Amino acid sequence: MLRVIVLGAAAGGGVPQWNCGCRICRAAREQPGLQSSQASIAISIDNSNWFLINAAPELRQQLIDTPQLHPKAGHLRHTPIAGVILTNGEVDAVAGLLSMREGSPFILYAHQRVLAILKSNSIFNVLSEKNVRREAIAVDQSFEPTLPDGAPSGIEVLPFVVPGKSAWYLEGHDHPAGAGNSDDGDTLGLRIEDKASGQHFYFIAACARVTPELKQRLHGAPLVLFDGTVWRDDELIEAGLGVKTGQRMGHLSMSGDDGALAMLADCEIAQKVFLHINNSNPALLPDSPERATLQKAGWQIGHDGMEITP
pLDDT score of 129: 86
> Distance between CA 137 and CA 192 in Å, rounded?
14
pLDDT score of 182: 61
User: What is the secondary structure of 8-36 as a DSSP string?
Assistant: E-B-TT-BS-TT--SHHHHHHHH-GGG-B
The answer on pLDDT for 236 being more than 90 is no
Total residue count of the chain as it appears in this document:
310
Per-residue pLDDT of 271-281, as tens digits, reads 999 999 999 99
Q: What mean pLDDT, rounded, does the chain reach?
A: 94
Of 219, 286, 217, 300, nearest to 254 by C-alpha is 300
pLDDT score of 184: 77
- Sign of torsion, CA 212 216 219 221? negative
**Given the DSSP bridges, would you call strands 132-137 and 155-161 parallel, antiparallel or unpaired?**
unpaired
Q: Which residues of 238-257 are buried (b: 16+ CB within 10 A; e: fewer)?
A: eeebeeebbbbbbbbbbbee
Domain extents in the chain: 3-304
The answer on pLDDT for 181 being more than 60 is no
Indicate the SS3 state at residue 212: helix
Q: Topology of 3-304 in CATH?
A: Metallo-beta-lactamase; Chain A (3.60.15)
295 close to 303: Cβ distance less than 8 angstroms: no
Of 310, 301, 306, nearest to 7 by C-alpha is 306
Indicate the SS3 state at residue 236: helix
pLDDT score of 180: 56
To the nearest whole percent, how much of the chain has pLDDT over 90?
A: 84
Give residue 66's identity as a one-letter amino acid code.
Answer: T
Per-residue pLDDT of 61-71, as tens digits, reads 999 999 999 99
The answer on pLDDT for 183 being more than 90 is no
Per-residue pLDDT of 10-29, as tens digits, reads 999 999 999 999 999 999 99
pLDDT score of 179: 64
Which residues lie closer than 8 Å to 64 by C-beta, 6 or more apart? none
> Distance between CA 80 and CA 148 in Å, rounded?
9
Per-residue pLDDT of 287-297, as tens digits, reads 999 999 999 99
